[in-house]
Copies of this chain bind each other. A is one copy, B any other.
Amino acid sequence: MSARAGIVVTGTEVLTGRVQDLNGPWVADRLLELGVELAHITICGDRPGDIEAQLRFLAAEGVDLIVTSGGLGPTADDMTVETVARFAGRELVLDKELEATIGDIVTRLMARFPNVDPDAIRASNRKQALVPDGAHILDPVGTAPGVVVPGTPTVVVLPGPPRELQPMWPRALQTPAVQEAIAGRTTYRQEMLRMFGLPESGLADTLREAERTVAGFDRLEITTCLRRGELEIVTRFEPDAADSYIGLVALLREHHGEALFSEDGSRIDDQIARLLAGRRIATAESCTGGLLAARLTDLPGSSAYVVGGAVAYANQAKAEVVGVDPALIDTHGAVSEPVAEAMADGALAKFGADTAVAITGIAGPGGGTDEKPVGTVCFTVKLADGTSVTRTMRLPGGRSDIRERSTTVAMHLLRRVLT
């Protein structure tokens, strides 16, 4: 019997759907990797009675570990620590050292807000230094500390903001209480493949074939997910089923070699970063309005190969800033392959780049025609040596889908040109 866990997500803004919960799925993934079986995720508002009811429910269901997120802030509606202490039958005690740590952090933050009374702030943050007696403290990543409260079940209390929760998780994992709680886990391997340019049903077909032809296929737990226009295939298996996984990958490679761009789970963004090493790239974007440049510069170190980009949203900007001949726009329309090519040429020339990507399209909701409906997007990738690929696609979805999907198509076109 594997170790079982439950997740309690707190926050009225999450319960009411105003903020999308990112912590439940993220922690679920981590538990899965560890081989801990996740039974329940429960979500409630900032009401101690509801939080406590969920903790009791999970305990009654016999989970070994509960992970909570949210409700650790300085305001009065943040009550998770207090509630967990009551649930675990432990007193709240003031941790002087933690109080000093939080005080330091807050004083530094407050330097930017000269009008706020620092004493009042410190008082409101003292609340955050109250921890259940005997709990293990996880030092703040932002201003809120987490705690690990040993018991049956052990409760890991983490802050709500994902950028605070995620770095805290490995530290929680190292505590003896958590190690003990998850001692019964099964070890799994988990591998991820990524594909682009294959419909989900095409993959389903191949998986049915694999069921017949790959020995031990039933020992592979496969989940597929369509995301950002790419297919993610996650396979979970016990280590001795590795040969079956190798058989599956071989079959996918055989049938979908073109589409299968990542066998080690690496993202297209990381692959492009490697391919751009030593190059100088510039972008020229219309409908994506800067999203491609933003995506390329999302990675640390991208200043080594990104020169810059032009967002040529208005036709006038296409002409004056990127140097597209206005006659080309008059003849073919702003969304056309000749204009995409001219935009790529302009990006190469204006930015002194050796690699250029241009995107022009109709993201909607207006602006579509019978001939060029909403979702029509033209792409050009061009290198200084004259190599050039141009494609026109019809992308599905609404405005933001089309814009985001366009950046993914551009990344894959770039990959094809650079490999």
Contact = CB atoms under 8 A, between A and B. Distances in A.
Given A13-B234, A39-B44, A290-B311, A120 B205 contact: yes
Interface stretch (A168-176, A266-274, A294-302): A294-302
A293 B203 CA distance: 36
Interface residues of A, number: 112
Contacts of A321: 308, 310, 321, 350-351
A258 to B, nearest CB: 10
B77 A224 contact: yes
A283 interface: yes
A225 B205 CA distance: 45
Given A42-B41, A200-B73, A225-B18, A316 B352 contact: yes
Interface string A197-222: 01111111101100000000000001
A95 to B, nearest CB: 19
Contact of A201 (B53, B124, B289): B124
Interface in A6-20: 11-13, 15-20
A1 interface: no
Indicate how many identical chains form the complex. Answer: 2
A166 to B, nearest CB: 11
Nearest to A351: B317
A238 interface: no
B77 A222 contact: yes
A50 B291 CA distance: 39
12 contacts: A13-B232, A16-B38, A40-B50, A41-B43, A41-B44, A75-B224, A113-B202, A163-B398, A307-B313, A309-B313, A316-B351, A317-B351
Interface of A: 11-13, 15-20, 24-26, 28-29, 32, 38-47, 50, 53-54, 57, 61, 73-77, 106, 109-110, 112-113, 116-117, 120-121, 124-125, 161, 163, 198-205, 207-208, 222-227, 232, 234, 282-283, 285, 288-294, 296-298, 300-303, 306-314, 316-317, 320-321, 350-352, 364-367, 393-394, 396-401, 403
